[in-house]
Amino acid sequence: MVGVAYSRTVDLDAYVAEHAGEWRRLEQLARRRRLNAAEADELIALYQRSATHLSVIRSRSPDPALLARLSRIVLAGRSALTRSSGGFSWKSVGRFCTVTFPLEAYRARRWWAATGLAFVALSGAIIAYIATHPAAAAAFLDDGEVDQLVNSDFAGYYSTYLPQNFAFEVWTNNAWLAARCLASGVLLLPVVYLLAGNALNVGVVGGIMVGAGRSDVFFGLIMPHGLLELTAVFVAAGAGLRIGWSWIAPGPLRSRGQALAETARAGMLVALGLVAVLFVAGLLEAFVTPSGLPTFLRVGAGAAVWLAFLGYVFVFGRRAERAGADTDLAPELRDATVPTA
């Protein structure tokens, strides 16, 4: 029953034997497609009891096999209680777009804003140095490669492939970079390495173009898509660094494991939202950047989409935070922060 105390000295086998029948009954009810009123009430009661049992076992005797089994049963019970007739719900999609993703991106804003500023500062310093020290470019490209980059390769890159094929290639490449930034965030240093390598690449190419008097070509081609594209990468990197920092400084009332798990779940939500953001950036790079529109229109279009994204994150994210929205797992499925009875 819900109020039964479970001390550290109680044998786990005895506890399981006492409640195993309730868990089996919950599993049976969760599998049924139709329940009468009495069975529905029983399902609710058993779900609440089993969720309490899960928290107790997790906090006192975290047996992996038992935890996995009971977690599955509790999730099945929760799914049965919240089951919808259609399976797919536009309401959940709408909530993800208006609450879940912007809230998690907003919560990580200090991380990705700092990441973006550091990236821009580093790449800007490299551009300035290469542009004012032409001999430094020789460490990366020979004279023939520099001439080819300035006169044809840089501008030609954006029109080499059909737009739809190029959009898909750009999308997958950027998604892969963002995924690596997120996944390696737990170790912190790999994220710094990935961003530094990309900043060096942007800085060298930009410095060569600016030094050759082609700054209009460089910024005119990179800004229409680069504003949104790089911001999406910064968001991924910031979320990844936030994950890594969570186990270094978990905060009060959380173990390092709990902090890491909660922040990693938030990072996965950010990753899912960035799929759509990077898709839009890919469309800009494939269809707007190489188009015949005047430069101010191409850059203006990219800037408008970028500002719209920032406004979306800050308006919807701040609103969700003030409303106390929660995007994490249900409380009964999280690790207990205090002993539960």
Same domain, 106 and 225: yes
pLDDT of res. 336: 46
Q: Place 56 in a pLDDT band, splitting at 50, 70 and 90.
A: confident
Same domain, 60 and 100: no
Rounded CA-CA distance 243/8 in Å is 32
Same domain, 40 and 100: no
Is 3 inside a domain boundary? Answer: no
pLDDT tens-digit series, residues 232-264:
999 999 999 999 999 899 888 788 888 888 899
pLDDT tens-digit series, residues 64-99:
778 888 888 988 888 887 764 445 567 888 989 999
Q: What radius of gyration do the chain's Cα atoms show?
A: 26
pTM: 0.74
Is 257 inside a domain boundary? Answer: yes
Same domain, 131 and 79: no
Same domain, 19 and 120: no
Is 5 inside a domain boundary? Answer: no
Is 212 inside a domain boundary? Answer: yes
Is 160 inside a domain boundary? Answer: yes
pLDDT tens-digit series, residues 195-222:
999 999 999 999 999 999 999 999 999 9
- Domain stop point among 83, 112, 128: 83
Share of the chain above pLDDT 70, in %: 90
Same domain, 63 and 200: no
Is 341 inside a domain boundary? Answer: no
Same domain, 268 and 222: yes
Rounded CA-CA distance 274/181 in Å is 12
Residue 18's SS3 state is: helix
- Domain stop point among 83, 118, 133: 83
Cβ neighbours for 318, distance < 8 A, ≥ 6 positions apart: 106
The count of structural domains within the chain is 2
- Domain stop point among 48, 83, 118: 83
Same domain, 137 and 253: yes
Q: Give the domain range for residue 116.
A: 94-330
Same domain, 201 and 326: yes
- The tokens describing 227, both together, are 């504003």
Cβ neighbours for 116, distance < 8 A, ≥ 6 positions apart: 230, 231, 234, 238
Cβ neighbours for 203, distance < 8 A, ≥ 6 positions apart: 122, 123, 124, 125, 126, 127, 129, 130
pLDDT tens-digit series, residues 142-162:
989 999 999 999 999 898 888
Same domain, 166 and 271: yes
pLDDT tens-digit series, residues 273-294:
999 999 999 999 999 999 999 9
CB burial class (10 A; 0-12, 13-18, 19+) of residue 38? exposed
Same domain, 306 and 221: yes
Same domain, 149 and 263: yes
pLDDT of res. 60: 72
